[in-house]
Structure formats: C-alpha cells, structure tokens
Chains A and B, each alone.
Chain A
Amino acid sequence: MTTNLHLWLIPLLPLAGAALNGLLGRGLSKRAVAIIGVGFPGAAFAWALVVASRFVALPFERIPYTEYILPWIAAGSFQANIAFYLDQLSLVMLLVVTGVGLLIHVYSVGYMEHEGGYYRFFAYLNLFMFFMLMLILADNYLLMFVGWEGVGLASYLLIGFFFLKQSAANAGKKAFIVNRVGDFGFLLGMFLLIRHFDSLNFADVFKAVSHYPVETAGAGLLTAISLLLMVGATGKSAQLPLYVWLPDAMEGPTPVSALIHAATMVTAGIYMIARSNPLFSRSPIALTVVAVIGCLTAIFAATIGMTQTDIKRVLAYSTISQLGYMFMACGVAAYSAGIFHLMTHAFFKALLFLCAGSVIHALSGEQDMRRMGGLRKQIPWTFWTMTAGTFAIAGFPPLAGFFSKDEILWKAWSTTALRSVAGPALNYTLWTLALLTAGLTSFYMFRLWFLTFFGEFRGGSADAHGHGDAHASHSPHESPGIMLGPLVLLAILSVFGGWAGVPHALGGSNRFDQFLAPVIQSSSEAMSAGQRAGEPQPEAAEEHAERNAELALTAASVGVAAIGFGFAWLFYFKRRDLPARVTAVLGGIYDTVRDKYYVDELYHALFVRPIVGISNFFWRDIDVGVIDATVNGAAHASQDVSDSLRRMQSGNIRSYAGWIATGAALVIVYMIWLGAR
C-alpha cells in the first residue's frame, strides 16, 4: 500500500480560513469569525499530527516524501513544480508552526476581542499560516521563495494592523524594505543555482552538489551561493546587519509578535540554511561567516536588551539574540542543534510574548516596565507561566532552553567544520561570546521578571494609554481563560520540550539529533570526505575526556545563568538604587547601548539620505515639469492656461529634445566607432 499523506491539505486549510474570513467575515459575528479563524489552523494541526504518525511509519527509502501537485513553470530544461517535500526537518517545522500557531490563534480570540477589524485580523493571521506552511513544505527554492515573500507580506499587513498609527505604518514599511535587501541575496542565489544546476529542486540540487568537494582551498561557486542565500536569511531572521526591522515590528499586536516575530517567520532563515545544509557544509568560509554573524548578533542584541524599558522591545531584542544562537549553530554545522533551539525557542518565546501580552492586557495597554511591578499577586497565572518561560530562556536545567542552548555552546566549542578557515581560537571566541550572551540573557530576562512582577506597582491610572477601551483604568486583572489556556500549554512545553534532546553527556541519547540525522547526513558525508578523512576515530579514553569537557562547559553555562539571575536580583529586587548609579557611572556607554548603538541613525545617514538626496536632485533640477500636488490641483481647477503656457515656453521641449539628441549622438558616435574599427 502506498501511503498518501495529502500534504496539500495542510497549507490549504488556513488559506480556506483566510478566504472565508476575508470575504465573508465582515458580516459574521465575532464568535463565528473566531471559530473559522481558529478552526482551520486547528484542522491543519490535526492533519499535521496524522501526517507525523504516518510519516514515522514510512519505509526509509520513501523519505524524503514528495507530493507532486501541479506543473508550475518550465523553461527549456529548467522546471519547477508546485510540489511538497516532507522529511524529518520539514516535519519538525510543520509541527512547531501548526502547533504553536494554533495556540496563538486561540489566544488571539481573547486578546483581540476588543479591537476593531476582528475578521480581518484572523484572515491575515490565517493567510500568514498558509504562506509559512508553503515555505516549509516547498520542494524547491522557488516555491519556498513564494512562501518567503508571502509571510513577509502577511507580516506587513499584521504589523500595520493598527492602521492609523503612523509608527505602525512606518514599521511595516521598514520591515518590507529591509527584507527586500535580503531577498536580493536570495534571488541572486537562486539565479546562480539555476545557472549551474539548472534546477531549484532541493533533491536535484543537493544530489548535484554531492559531487562537489568541500571548498577548503578558497571561495568557489558553493561559497558564493551559500553566502547569497545567507544574505536572504539575515534579512528574514533579523541578523546583523539587517536586524533593524524586527524591534520596530513590535508595533503589531502582541499575538502577531509571538507568532510571526518570535516563533515562526523569523526562523525561516534558520530553516532555509538548515535545509540548504549540503550547500553550506561544503563551504567552510560561508559557515564561518554564518557563525560569526550569528554570534555577534547574539551578544549585540543581548546588550541592547539589557537597557530597554518597553517589555515587548526587551523580548524583541531577546529574539534577535536567540536567533543569533540558531544562526551560530548552523554556522558551526550543528544544524540539528539550531533546529532544536528553534523549536524550544518557539515554545518559550511564544510563551513570553503571550505572557507579556497578558501583562499588557492586564494593565490596559501599558508596555513600559518602569510603570509595572508587583503584579504576581494580581495575575498569578500569567506570573507562573512567565516564570517557566523566563527560567527556560535563561537556561536553567532541566528546562527546554537549557538543553538546546547547551548543545549549541558545546558544538561551538568542539566543531571542526571551520578548521580550514580558522584555528581553534575561533571556537573558543565563539564559545566565550555565546557564554557571555547566556549570562546577559539571564540578566535581562530576570530584570524583566523582577520589574514586572515584584516590588511595588508603579503604574498610576493606566487609562492614558488606550488599548481596548473596554477596560480603562481598572486595577490589574487576570486575562480570560481562553488566553490562559495557551499560556499553560506553552509553559508545559517550555519546561519539558527540551527533553527530546538530552545529550549523551547527561545520560540521554539526544533523540532529536538522531531524528534529524538523515537530513544532515549528506553534509556529514561531505565532511568525512573532506577534512575529516584520515582522522582517527575517537578512542574510548578520548570519548571520556570529551564527555568531561562537555560536562564542564555545561556547568559553566548554568553558572553564568545563575550569575545573571543574581545580578538581576541584586539590581532590581534587593538594591533598586543600584541601576541608576551604574548608569550614571557608565554615562555615554549606557546611552549608546540604550539608543541601540545608533544603528538606525547610521543606516539613515548611509543609505536613506543619499538616495533621497539624489532623488531630490532629480526632482528639483532634472524633472523640470514637476509641479507640487497642491499647485497641480489649483491649476486643474482654474485651468490657468497662461501659467501652463509660461511653463511651456520655459524651454521644456528644447531641453527634452536636447536630452534626446545628446543620447542619440552618444549612441551614434559609439556605433560609428564600432563600425569603423
């Protein structure tokens, strides 16, 4: 019997939900909108579970499972179809996206209740799910790119959800434009793939690539393709230097931040790199660049996270920082560790965002942590679930974040994948910075935790900020059950989710790593064909030493987490006067960090202003016929012929003819020169 997984159902269900709500939602009751908006992604999740259960029963030779839907395009020998591709990697992503996505949808039913445009919100959210699932299930880069752009578009719609807020509109625009920079790399990478492999199908490309040696000697074709794809990934996954859009994206409603800007969309870049591991693993240079970018992003964003006072912004920088970890994991060729962290991060970061949403909800829209405090009594459910999330991200054992982060740190320390580019010093540097980041993470997360839930309540009447008019100026109140349910489930996942990948050193068997091994296999083959050739298999004694080393590193990372906790406790619980004094001592340094190292300003000066300047130059000096919009309207209304005549006599036509004649002269002179040669 051939099993048919009917993968097409999974993206199509949310699309149907989006269509129903988008087209008919205006006339439906909120209840009906919510049932449609949650029901279809719910069905997708249910089907994903069925798929998972059938997938594990598939015989080995049928994996990766592909499902051909429609012919799409063919030009010459190049062909791309609408087809789906399921292997262990896409299955993990599928479950994470549909599962966490469903929980966030449920939460949104409560959170968005008092907002206008309820149906539109769910339509966009479902549309996002559709594109995200297309991205994950695509069997070629082109279809993946459709999903890739689609999630960007849905994110754009959702960031700008509070339509009439200028800052939200700007944030949406910024996200869109910055991601175009990333797309530039992705597209060029695809063109190079077409040019050299005449295909964008994962299976074809990876098969073709498997005949290529590892580019140890220097940068070659695969390095170029990998680096270009990486540019795409840095855009979508908010890495240096393209991370600037993500903090601003927090203008969107909190469930959107949780779903798109923490759990799913921003991890698309990580997924894409992990998916392309046969390419990346053959280019140590590209891997090194990925690792370094990831590592720098991790620590860079963590430092900014320490100084932010908006609860969502702290989480935003934390997300960037954690994505940096995942990037670094891919960079040290530990793709499964990256995906493992992607999964646990989806759990705890979605949880943290939703908790933050619950806090904001409780305070009727307040987002400034300086105006919070002492909330653990009023909103105990939120407090306890957030506590689970905070300890998980800080890396306390045995919570989810501990296992996944530790795996990455260990791989950064021990990998030999980058050997042809740099010596062990790079490993140690990466590890040290990552360890430092772990400490900072613990510090800023507990800072958030203490500021929000402990001490005295510092907010006055909260009605100045009009989030949801229904509950203005009440004392903080717990969220309804429909919001708390997802929090509890995510909290459970944040606590236990890491147990899927307990490392050998701690007596586990790292089932997660083994599960993904077939996807990564080809690259480890490449490695063994490359520099590992001739390397002796580790002896038992070596193995023992290695295990001890891993345990020592684990102890170190737990240690810095504890230190981070300690500092946060000291600064924000015990001696609350300390932060002010420390910032006074740090002065300019602190300001620089708090103002995000002035990167936005720098980009503005470097890119935006020159382009606008050039455009202005054209606008004023070349585009002679231009008239201001208001003047334009006036001219139309009065039809002031004399004015227009004056303009016409100003030599427009002559100057235009001059342009054409000059251009013509250049072309003719060139061509005559060519002919006379």
Chain B
Amino acid sequence: MNPITNTDYVTILPELVLAAFGLIVMLVEPFVTKGGSRKPLGYLACLGALASLAATWYQAGSPYTQGFFKMVLVDHFSVFFHVVIALVLFVALLGSLDYVERQHIRAGEFYALMLFGAVGMDLMSSATELVLIFIALEISSISTYILAGMRRRVAISAEASLKYFLLGSFATGFFLYGVSLMFGATGTTSILAIGPQLHAGGFNPLVFAAVALMFVGLGFKIASAPFHVWTPDVYEGAPAPVVAFMSTAPKAAAFAVLLRVLFAAWTPGWFWPVWISAALSMTLGNIGALRQTNIKRMLAYSSIAHAGYLLVAFAASKAADTAGISAAIFYTAAYAAMNVGAFLVISHLAGEGERFVAIDDYAGLSRRQPAVAASLALLLLSLIGIPATGGFFAKFYVFSAALQANLVGLTILGLINSGIAAYYYLRVIVVMYMREHPAEHEHGHGAERITIPEGVALTLSVLATLYLGIMPNRVLQLAIEAAKDLLR
C-alpha cells in the first residue's frame, strides 16, 4: 500500500485548515473572552473561512487529483462546492458576530462548531467513498444539531435542536442502510467503482433498494418533501444566523452528495421518486408559506420549495448530460447567495431573544432602515425569480433544462409554483414599504443600526445575487465544468 503523501493532504487542505482554525478558536477562547468582547474569536473564525477559500484556490490549480486511496477527489465539482461553502461560512460568520453578543451565546463553541460543520460539508462534496461521505455527513449534521440549540435558555431552540437531532438521526440511519445495501450489491463503496459497474448493467436488484434508502436519507438533508416536515420548526427555533448557514451550506453539500450518488454512480430507478419529490416540495413548500406570519417559518417553507425547483433540475438530467446537472449546481450557488442574505437580515432585526420575527414587525422598515429594507427586497425579488437577480437565472436554467428533457408537466407545475410564490415574498416587501411602523414597537425595535460586519455580510450577499443575475456566465461556465468532471 502506498504511503500517504503530501498530495493526499493537499486534497483535504481546506478541511484541514478549517479544522485547525476550529481548534484554535476553542483553545484561544478562555484567554479572549474574560469579560471582554467575544468578537475577536469571530474574526478568527472568519479568517479560517477565508483561509479555506485560499486553500481551495490552491487546489484549483491542479484539478482532478485523487487522494487517500481514491477516497477523496478534487475536481471542478468539489472546488465549486468548496467555494460556495467557504463563502457562505464567511458571510454567516460575519453576520453572527453581533448576534452572538446580543443573544449571549457561548462564542467559542459557536464559532468552532460552524467551522467543524464546514469541514463535514466540504468533505461531503469531495468524498467519493460512501463510507467517508457518511462520516462527513455526520460531522456536518452533528455540528448543525448543536448549533440549532445554541440559544440554550430558549425553549424552542432546544426543542428545535432535539427534533432536528432525533429526526436527523432517523434519516441518517436510512442513508447508512442504503450504503450497506449498495456494498452488498456491488461489493464496493467507492462511487468511482460503482459507476462503471452499474453503467454496464446486469447488476443486483438490491441496488434499487439501496438507492431508495440513500435518497430518503439525503432527501431529509435537503428538506425535500415528504421528508421536509422538520424544517419549519427547526428553522423557527434555531438562531437566525445558524439558519442562514444551515439552510444553505449543508444543503449545498447534501445536493453535491445526491449529484454524486445519482449521476457519478449511474444509479438507476430514481427518476420517478425525484420527480414526485420535486413536485411535492414545490407545491407543499409554496402553499405552506402562503399563510405564515413568522418570517422564519415562511422562509423555511420557501426553502422547501426551492429544494423542489432544484430537484426539477435533477429530474431533467436523466440523459446524463450536463444541462440539468449544471443547472442544479448553479441553483445551489444562487440559492445560497440570496438565502444567506435574507436570513442575515432576519438575524439583524430579530433583536434580543429573537422577539421580532413576525412579518408584521417589518412594517415601515423602509423608513427606519432603508438600506436594509432595499437589500431584503432585492433578495426576496431574487427568491421570486425576477430578472437581473441570481434567482431568475437559476430558475431559468432549471426550467429550460427541464423542458429540453421533455418534462413538460414538471416545468408547468414549477412555473405555476413560482407564480404562487411571488405572493408571499411580495407580502414582506409590501409590509416593509407600504405599511406604517406600528407605534408600540417604537422603543428599541429596529432602532439599532446595522453594524459594519453585518453590513459587509449583507452587501456581499446582495452583490453575489446581483452578480449572478447580471453576469451569470462565469459561474455558469464553472458549473458546466463541474458537471463535466462529475460525469467523467
């Protein structure tokens, strides 16, 4: 057996960097936080996110490198997701600096867990070995379970964490069972070895059951119907910046795994489950969001709907061409950009103890904080899918690919759904711009201006959304490269 070389370590360099920073944050905490501000820890974590970005940049210099006995693969695909995760992590960390202070959250654990979670997510997108994927999934999941309960003294936060943990473990069980069946059927857990075997045909029918189980497990992670039921409660209870993070980065990673499992491994039979899950997610997500009065719950349902749009792109990739896959990859980036920003606005406005998370609390925001209101309006327009925003092109590619693949029904259903969705996003804009600020909130609420880190984070998210909407080509080309590498 070959010894482990430097090249091997390079393939997990971003993960190593993140883990190292996580450890440093934990070690430094006792020295930093005595009485003073815990923000330096946060900045350290931000630095970690940037360092992992730099490490990914370094990796991108030599794409398609395998490491650790072919368990890890650095290609355009993994690089794309690493960048998305690192950026989301950076923005979410910036956005949590003040939140952590305000809500009296244990800073050391908080930042370290964000970093550790990102280690798992990064590894999910570069692992090509099902067992390693499982471990990465667990690293990511366990971190987010704890993060969801970080507002320890608040009942619904604890409740969210517990629910997420119980149901998440349940779902992970499915995934693991699927992996073992896959091993039983093919004699290997390496996706790169499974792929050719399944592609050649004549395989053990057990594979179908394995795919089903893995799909259920991953369906939970991406919050697609009917495995979405946990989402509203968990998003409502979890701290807002954590939701900003966990509604985007782990989801992107889970989509990466799903892409690998379905397409790189040439697994069969998934088309109708994906089709139905896409249709259900879009419909249930949007209808569920219509009547919500709590903006976190509303965006939770919205994220279910977006998982549905993304699955449309999966369904559209049945010919194993790059159109659908690259559309899905592009969508994860666009969705991450807009959603992380939207949740950061919520986190900024929530106030101490997250008291202000009803949509009505946003009344008159355009007058109190015009820049924040305008940013949120733009992000919501992007979630609707209005041109000149990332959300438009994301949907455009997805549905264009879907129609190319003859998915007429799903395309029509998706477009109807995005019409319905306009209604509830718009309601927030209407409340912000056209409703008077209620007098009883005069004191305290929304009085505090946005801080510099929050402002930077929000600006980044808005700029990314606009960039993807106005100049989508570069990211699209990268997504196409990623899709090509995935199918290689």
Contacts and interface: CB of A to CB of B under 8 A. Distances in A.
A617 to B, nearest CB: 9
A668 B212 contact: yes
Given A153-B386, A191-B400, A611-B420, A633 B358 contact: yes
A616 B291 contact: yes
Interface string A261-273: 0000000000000
B269 A674 contact: yes
Contacts of A75: 323, 326, 397, 476, 480
Interface residues of A, number: 80
A656 B167 contact: yes
A142 B399 CA distance: 14
- The majority secondary structure among interface residues of chain A is helix
B423 interface: yes
Interface string A634-677: 01110111011101100011011101101110011011101110
Contact of B159 (A146, A619, A644, A674): A644
Nearest to B206: A675
What interface size band does chain B fall in? 35 or more
Nearest to B422: A180
B423 A625 contact: no
Given A73-B473, A656-B230, A615 B411 contact: no
Given A177-B422, A644-B155, A656-B229, A675 B415 contact: no
Contacts of B225: 663
B433 interface: yes
Contacts of A675: 205-209, 269
A149 B387 contact: yes
- The majority secondary structure among interface residues of chain B is helix
Contact of B171 (A176, A195, A660): A660
B44 interface: no
Contacts of B207: 675
Contact of B388 (A71, A146, A191, A618): A146
Contacts of A674: 208, 268-269
Interface stretch (B23-31, B73-81, B292-300, B450-458): B292-300
B15 interface: no
Given A639-B155, A641-B155, A659-B229, A670 B273 contact: yes
B430 A676 contact: no
A428 interface: no
A668 B170 CA distance: 15
A149 B393 CA distance: 13
Interface in B340-388: 353-355, 357-360, 381, 386-388
A645 to B, nearest CB: 7
B220 to A, nearest CB: 7
A675 B185 CA distance: 12
Interface in A210-264: none
Interface stretch (A83-91, A160-168, A582-590): A160-168
Contacts of A160: 430, 433-434
Contact of B167 (A190, A194, A648, A660): A660
A169 B153 CA distance: 40
B354 to A, nearest CB: 6
B273 A618 contact: no
Contacts of B269: 671, 674-675
A381 to B, nearest CB: 35
Given A611-B420, A668-B213, A674-B269, A176 B208 contact: no
B403 interface: yes
B272 A670 contact: yes
A187 interface: yes
B243 to A, nearest CB: 15
Contacts of A637: 353, 355
B473 A71 contact: yes
Interface string A363-407: 000000000000000000000000000000000000000000000
B310 to A, nearest CB: 17
A146 B430 CA distance: 22
Given A164-B434, A618-B291, A659-B227, 11 more contacts: A76-B480, A176-B426, A188-B415, A612-B291, A628-B293, A632-B357, A652-B233, A659-B226, A659-B229, A660-B227, A667-B216
Interface of B: 153-156, 159, 162-163, 166-167, 170-171, 174, 205-209, 211-213, 215-216, 219-220, 225-227, 229-230, 232-233, 236, 268-269, 272-273, 284, 287-288, 290-294, 297, 322-323, 326, 353-355, 357-360, 381, 386-388, 392-393, 396-397, 399-400, 402-404, 411-412, 415-416, 418-420, 422-423, 426-427, 430, 433-436, 471-473, 476-477, 480
23 contacts: A146-B387, A150-B387, A169-B435, A187-B396, A188-B403, A190-B400, A194-B404, A195-B404, A626-B232, A632-B358, A633-B358, A641-B155, A652-B233, A653-B166, A656-B163, A660-B216, A660-B227, A662-B226, A668-B209, A670-B273, A671-B273, A672-B209, A674-B208
Question: When A and B form their complex, which 8 residue pairs have the shortest distance between CB atoms, in order from nearest?
Answer: A675-B208, A675-B205, A663-B226, A671-B212, A629-B358, A644-B155, A169-B434, A191-B403
